[in-house]
Amino acid sequence: MKRYAEITEKNPREILLLRGTGCAWKRCAFCDYHLDYSPDKEENFELNRGEIAKVTGKYGRLEVINSGSFVELDQKTMELLKSVCREKGIREIHFESHWAYRSFIPGLRKEFGASGITVKVKIGVETFDRDYRERTLRKGIGEREPEKIAVDFDEVCLLFGLCGQTRESMERDIETGLRCFERVCINIMTENSTAVRPDEDVIAVFQREIYPRYIGNPRVDILLENTDFGVGE
Ligand code: SF4
């Protein structure tokens, strides 16, 4: 599995796919990447240390993902990330988190902020259609409005290519994301081991009508394959 890459376009940054103790939620209907985990913190740290050693700091920005939430990364990994940011002149670090861990975010900002490093946190909302999100996708965010979610988070992930989505619904989700968050990351559903299947008709609508409109937007990342950032398998 490739765990280090560089994203050279739009908000250029290095990206690390690290390993934690596993997503505590694990209930999102479409997700199987939470299988990338180990309960052994020492083993995780050894693996993470090898990947963190590849960071050069060339863009001054680093994104850290871990198939879950930042709180599932061990303390030694977090300390190492902090010292690498300091040593390599990285001024902005991005993490991901489930809604349930929002109360840990101010502490994370403070911890890195003490070294002059700005923290950005991304949440996977997938869609702002609350009913679809909670009943079908089982995201565990509840009935909350986008503005309420954006209080704690800076960036949002959306998931397209699902049965029932339309040009209008996808457009609405992107526009809501751009209104409430600094950045939007669009993932297109691909085959995995869950029962949720990509809807090829919806993906065709996305590629024909949505992709050309947003591909040039510097605040929108689009991943047609979930390995498009260069990490994962
Ligand atoms: S919170 Fe993230 S890692 Fe956990 S099940 Fe949902 S999508 Fe997967």
- What digits encode the pLDDT tens for the residues 21-74? 999 999 999 999 888 999 999 999 999 999 999 999 999 999 999 999 999 999
Domain boundaries, given as residue ranges, for the chain: 4-223
Q: How confident is the model at residue 229 (pLDDT cuts 50, 70, 90)?
A: confident
Tokens of 138: 């089982």
Does any ligand 1 atom lie closer than 6 A to the CB of residue 23? yes
pLDDT at 230: 85
pLDDT at 225 > cutoff 90: no
**DSSP β-ladder status, 61-65 and 4-7:** unpaired
27 CA closest ligand 1 atom index: 5
Mean pLDDT along residues 120-146: 95
Q: Please choose, from the candidates 21, 15, 51, 16, the residue with its C-alpha nearest in 3D space to the C-alpha of residue 36.
A: 21
What is the predicted pLDDT for the residue at 144? 86
Alpha helices for 99-199 (secondary structure H)? 105-113, 130-131, 146-149, 167-180
If you measure from the C-alpha of residue 221 to the centroid of ligand 1, how many angstroms do you get, rounded to a whole number? 19
What is the per-residue pLDDT for 13?
96
The vertex-123 CA angle with 122 and 125, nearest 5°, equals 140
What is the distance in A from the centroid of ligand 1 to the CA of 216? 28
Average pLDDT over residues 128-140: 95
Q: What is the pLDDT of residues 79-94, one digit of tens each?
A: 999 999 999 999 999 9
Rounded Cα gap, residues 134 and 112, in angstroms: 32
The mean of the pLDDT values for the chain is 96
Q: What is the pLDDT of residue 116?
A: 96
Please tell me the distance from the alpha carbon of residue 21 to that of residue 68, in angstroms, as a whole number.
Answer: 9
* Residue 227: predicted pLDDT: 83
**Cα-to-centroid distance, 18 and ligand 1 (Å):** 15
The conformation of residue 20, written as its DSSP 8-state character, comes to: B
| Nearest-atom index, ligand 1, CA of 98 | 1
89 Cα to the center of ligand 1, angstroms = 31
Q: How far apart are CA 114 and CA 108, in angstroms?
A: 10
Q: What is the pLDDT of residue 35?
A: 87
Q: Name the CATH code of domain 4-223 (choices 3.30.70.260, 3.90.1530.30, 3.20.20.70, 3.40.1390.20).
A: 3.20.20.70
Residue 143 pLDDT greater than 90, yes or no: no
Q: pLDDT of 179-192, one tens digit each?
A: 999 999 999 999 99
